Amino acid sequence: MIKSIIARLKQGYRTMPFPPAHMNLPARYLGLPRIKSPELAGAAAACPYGAISSGPEAGLDMGRCIFCGECAKAAPGAVEFTKDYRLCARSPGGLIVRDKDFKRAEALKGELRRIFRRSFRLRVVSAGGCNGCESDCNVLQTVGFDLGRFGVQFTASPRHADGILITGPVARNMELALRKTYAAVSSPKVVIACGACAIAGGPYAGHEECAGIPADIPVDLYIPGCPPHPLTILDGILRLIGRID
């Protein structure tokens, strides 16, 4: 018992402050893209998933992007990836990065913000993904990130949840399960699309067995990435409920 107490004292306080004053992310991490030049033809040709468009409406759609970095390698003078993990948006159009500053997700309004700001429960629906997004959601419950200190928790039952967090491209075999889960959550409720697959299909876009999130299930927050970094997920959730600006 004494050895356990001594070991715990030596470990000290392990939970990171959030938002962090400075986050030393790995060199290989690719965060918020920046458009350096409107000439994106070379970058668009290099993108394997059609996330980049050239011409008058040139831009990079983070909803389709898997952050492989091939566009920046092909056209370093046109696209670069920063270390900024704050990528979330409230609409698909909000995920498109052009030559202007990126506008981050805004909080829920009025009564919804008041209800969810201090206590927010989410049911994760893994709808056919590779388990990458699910793993990074699980990491948020460890002592390093400690999602629970903000009043946010993942729950096992949709009947105990305030909303659902969807991962994966929504395989057709999961579409009914997703609908039933959404229906089981009491109103008012929130829907979060987490990862490139949930937002736009990711590597599975266009596959006949991928249904995507049904149009009649309204999405309140889009978290891009393949998979999103845990900091990106945490930032998006806290912005949505008004805990950070």
With H, G, I as helix, E, B as strand and everything else as coil, classify residue 116.
helix
Q: What percent of the chain has pLDDT over 70?
A: 100
Which domains, and CATH codes, for the chain? Answer: 33-84 (3.30.70.20), 110-240 (3.40.50.12280)
Interacting residues of 212 by C-beta distance below 8 A, sequence separation 6+? 169, 170, 201
Q: How far, CA to CA in Å, does 114 sit from each of 120, 146, 168, 189?
A: 11, 22, 30, 13
Instruction: Average the pLDDT over 167-191 and give the result.
Output: 97
Residue 150 near residue 243, CB atoms below 8 Å: yes
Q: What percent of the chain has pLDDT over 90?
A: 88
CA distance 168 to 186: 23
Instruction: Average the pLDDT over 91-96 and give the result.
Output: 96
Cα angle: 177, vertex 115, 135; to 5 degrees: 45
Instruction: Give 56's DSSP letter.
Output: T
Instruction: Give 202's DSSP letter.
Output: G
DSSP class per residue in 214-240: -TTS---EEE-SSSPPHHHHHHHHHHH
Task: Note the pLDDT tens digit of each residue in 51-60.
Answer: 999 887 889 9
CA distance 187 to 171: 25
How many other CB atoms are there within 10 angstroms of residue 77's CB atom? 11
For residue 48, say if its preceding peptide bond is cis, omega within 30 degrees of 0.
no
* Placement of tokens 């566009």 in the chain: 71
Sign (positive or negative) of CA dihedral 171, 176, 179, 180:
negative
Task: Note the pLDDT tens digit of each residue in 142-165.
Answer: 999 999 999 999 999 999 999 999
CA distance 219 to 228: 17
Query: Which two tokens mark 174?
Result: 């999961």
Predicted confidence at residue 24, as pLDDT, reads 87
Instruction: Average the pLDDT over 79-90 and give the result.
Output: 97
Instruction: Give 170's DSSP letter.
Output: -
What does pTM read for this prediction?
Answer: 0.94
CA distance 94 to 77: 24
Q: Is the pLDDT of residue 69 over 80?
A: yes
Predicted confidence at residue 103, as pLDDT, reads 92
